Amino acid sequence: MSNAIHTLSPSTNKLLYEHPGTSLDEARQLAISAQDAQKSWKQVPLSERKAIILKALELIDANKQVLAEELTTQMGRPIAYTTKEIDTMRLRADYLLGIADESLKNLPGQPQNGFRRFLKKEPVGVAFIATAWNYPHLITISTIVPALLSGNAVLLRPSPQTPLVGERFQSFFTQAGLPRNLFQLIHCGSLDVLDQIVALPQINLISFTGSTEGGLRIREATVRRVVPVNLELGGNDPAYVRPDADLPYVAAQLVDGAVFNSGQSCCAVERVYVHADVHDAFVTEVQKELATYKLGDPFDKTTTTGPVISQQAVKTINAHIADALSKGAVDATPENATFSTPPTDGNYVAPKVLTNVTHDMRTMREETFGPVMPIMKVASDDEAVALMNDTDFGLTASIWTKDVGAGEALMEKLEAGTVFVNRCDYPSPDLAWIGWKNSGLGCTLGPHGFDAFYKLKSFHIKEQQA
């Protein structure tokens, strides 16, 4: 398999970027130079590290519009929304900067006369960070900021679909004053080469964001090493609409949760369970909401839904839809002229509403990763919770109800890393972004957002000889 990168525009399928790929030998040399740079970096006071990170963030802010346009070009999200990712990225970074001192301070042992004991948080060394294309700025900032602030060097492998994000980040952080070789890029288009790179002994931590299959492959590639692996993987996230819910509000929120970014979010709403008492009325509200959406050119500021990432994605999404329809699902998608007349070039998939779905259908069992909203009728809270938990994934889940107390009681029963009442599809920087089951290992963000990027060293000192 070639290691070269050929990035195609999702909206035109024209070539945007080419790179021969970083060979294993080149990656080894990058890792060795990163080791040397890290030895000096870990001695730099945290206050100085923070100042450099802040300067890099200011450079990113100053180039926000260019970055937004490049993001739309590379992954197809409508231009109306791409600057928002960069704004949200800054909020995440500011949170991480704000908790750095507390997160990285020494931990005291128990007092004892004649002894001094404490725990020091030491950097792991060289962190290999592989990011995904669907939210590349957010994913990258959630990992490189705690990695660098903790005193590590970074080898960043940007997604082959959004390579310019990696190029820009390296440029801005270098301009901000990061030492030479502390932040380097590895472009990799071959999973076989990636397997070999993560096995390099100079790499002390692997942080991977991507599919569950990709995460399992990373674990297999590192099975002969004792090395920490942090994984943010896929989801098949459910929502439950109780009979007392505010249906117009909930419909608007869940359509957005299912269709935003063309459904290409790890925490997108992929399954909706609705109490039988309000099922039909809810479907009507969903249809009203989706009728206002516009599928089209992502550089048109009125477009709400752009292309999906690739022709392979188109095939997978359509296969899930066809499977559901063949097993009795009903196409309840509203009339929308833009859905039937997408641009002739590009990877366009119209949003789809499916009713009469069951757990025998792929779209209810697998991650569709597209603008599909399957809606299933349930008879009770208990049935909804049982179906929501009937999955190998566990990233997020949401309950929609006017009775917040009842919603909180149901949250306790859900098997997911983040649970919502009356909200969805929102990783809050002050909470752990963590996957249960096959959705991940370890976490980013929140008060434990630095944990993966340091190792503990116990200091035990007897201050006087007997």
Of the residues 70, 232, 270, 285, only one is catalytic, namely 232
Among the listed residues 266, 267, 424, 443, the single catalytic one is: 266
> Does the annotation mark 122 as catalytic?
no
Token pair 């999200």 is at which residue? 77
Residue in this structure with the two tokens 């021969």, named with its chain if needed? 20
232 is catalytic: yes
In contact, 432 and 417? CB cutoff 8 Å: yes
The 3-class SS string of the chain reads: CCCCEEEECCCCCCEEEEECCCCHHHHHHHHHHHHHHHHHHCCCCHHHHHHHHHHHHHHHHHCHHHHHHHHHHHHCCCHHHHHHHHHHHHHHHHHHHHHHHHHHCCEECCCECCEEEEEEEEECCEEEEECCCCCHHHHHHHHHHHHHHCCCEEEEECCCCCHHHHHHHHHHHHHCCCCCCCEEECCCCCHHHHHHHHCCCCCCEEEEECCHHHHHHHHHHCCCCCCCEEEECCCCEEEEECCCCCHHHHHHHHHHHHHHHHHCCCCCEEEEEEECCCHHHHHHHHHHHHCCCCECCCCCCCCCECCCCCHHHHHHHHHHHHHHHHCCCEECCCCCHHHHCCCCCCCCCCCEEEECCCCCCHHHHCCCCCCEEEEEEECCHHHHHHHHCCCCEECEEEEECCCHHHHHHHHCCCCCCEEEECCCCCCCCCCCEECEECCEECEECCCCCCHHHEEEEEEEEECCCC
| Enzyme catalytic residues | 232, 266
